Amino acid sequence: MKKRAIVRLLFLLILFYALTMIFPLAIALYQSETEMTRAFCITIAIAAAAALPILLTTRKIAIRFSAREGFMLVFLAWTAACFIGALPYFISRAIPGFTDAVFESVSGFTTTGTSVITNLETLPLSLIFWRAETQWLGGMGMVVLTVALIPFLGAGGFQLIKAEAPGPDQERITPKITETAKILWIIYISLTALEAVLLCIAGMDLFDAIIHAFSTMATGGYSSRNEGLAFWSSPVIMWIVTIFMIIAGFNFALLFRLIQRKWKDVWHSSEARTYFSIIIVSSIIAAVSTGSITNSFFYTTSILTTTGMTAGSQSLLTPLARAVLFLLMFIGGCSGSTAGGIKVIRHVVLFKQTGNELKKILYPRGVFSVRLNNKVGRKDVVYGVAGFVFLYFALIGIASLVIAGSGMDHITSFSVALISLGNIGLDPASLEPFAIFESLPGYVKWTLSFIMIAGRLELWTAFVFFSREYWR
């Protein structure tokens, strides 16, 4: 019964993902884009033909599952979404190869921002919109949206959310997980709409404003222009995007506390204080080095939050500023945000545990605990963080070897692995999107696709299947 329940929910998700193509389909119809209209219609039809028979034959089955089934369901749901998202690229022949289409789709849903497309502005508007929409859906989390829209999941909804974002600092902001998911998405939609309005006021047209609001709040970095924000050459637009990148990289549960005016909850958050300290200190160092406050805050925030947005002003960055930005690639945003990377909270835990180990040398019989949010943290949190960080760097090393096997030099191989797993999307050397993905061998693209999904699901959900204990 559990297997049938999982299959039912999986195909329900597949149908839902396909229905999100209604928006780009409407654009395709309005713009008279025949090939894209055909591609979106075929994709929706394929998903409906596969899902409806399953949903009809399993409609009486109650959807209940444990954390174990939740991990499998989330991983399969993300994989299915990426394959469905690839079909419009492939069917329309905008991206002729299926491997390339899947890679582009994975990069979108995981908010990585890497691409095999070399000339973005030749794409139909509906496909540019779909490309940005995949980032926006993947930013907050497609499973979180599903939990918000499907009230009958009950306690299983929390298992799904934990599997989709298994960080060390999970919390409900309301007693009911469905209400929590709804609040998170309402905040997400509201902030996206607000940014789009501000960008329109600052000089973008409505379409460009929506695309950049999608990619900013998702911390994905996709643009509607080949030049990125440099197309507008506007400091006002750069500051609007910078502010919303900071918000997107912040913990949304704490953001809700701010809306409730619970200032103390935010002030006592170890992660929040560290997050803003990193932004301010690193931006000041870069600004002193470059003499440009706007560029320093923009690129510091873009890298820390793993947005990977560009503004065409990389030539102004000095070696010191670039070194700061490179180090930020190993941090990431806050837990409970749309940002990728290791996350600030894990660095806080490791930093505090390092201090405890130094104290242990001086006082061998002393008992020292990691304090988070002015409370004594659990020891298992430290073990979990240590395991995550080890797996993170081990995976970067393994991926670097796979990429180097294709003939790429070791520096570029390491960089590609780092930006793929951290869902960053920018070349750390040039601070521009890599232009090499189109020429990579197929096996490297499939490897990177898995790595991007693993990074978005924070590793454990993707790697738990390699555990013998899971299958027992």
CA separation (Å) from 135 to 14, 110, 217, 219, 259?
17, 7, 9, 8, 25
* pLDDT at site 65: 64
Long-range CB contacts (within 8 A, 24+) of 198-207: 198/240, 199/237, 199/240, 199/241, 202/234, 202/236, 202/237, 202/240, 203/232, 203/234, 203/236, 203/237, 204/232, 204/237, 207/125, 207/129
For residues 271 and 344, the answer to whether their CB atoms sit within 8 Å is: yes
Cβ(435)–Cβ(115) under 8 Å? Answer: no
Kindly report the pTM of this predicted structure. Answer: 0.91
pLDDT at residue number 320: 92
pLDDT at 163: 52
Between the alpha carbon of residue 121 and those of residues 129, 225, 255, the distances in Å are 12, 6, 35
Interatomic CA distance for residues 115 and 120, integer angstroms: 10
Dihedral sign of CA atoms 121, 122, 123, 126 in order:
positive
pLDDT for residue 82:
93
Helix, strand and coil percent figures for the chain, each rounded to 5: 70, 0, 30
- The per-residue pLDDT for 152 is 45
- The span from the first CA to the last CA of the chain, in angstroms, equals 18
Q: Looking at residue 294, what is its pLDDT? A: 93
Can you give the pLDDT of all 472 residues of the chain as single tens digits? Answer: 467 777 888 888 888 888 999 999 999 999 999 999 999 999 999 999 998 888 888 777 666 666 677 778 888 888 999 999 999 999 999 998 999 999 999 999 999 989 999 888 899 999 999 999 999 998 887 656 555 555 544 444 555 555 555 455 555 555 566 677 778 888 899 999 999 999 999 999 999 999 999 999 999 989 999 888 999 989 999 999 999 999 999 988 888 888 888 888 888 888 999 999 999 999 999 999 988 999 999 999 999 999 999 888 777 788 999 999 999 999 999 988 889 899 999 999 999 888 888 888 888 888 788 887 777 777 778 888 899 999 999 999 999 999 999 999 999 999 999 999 999 988 877 778 877 888 899 999 999 999 999 998 888 888 887 777 777 7
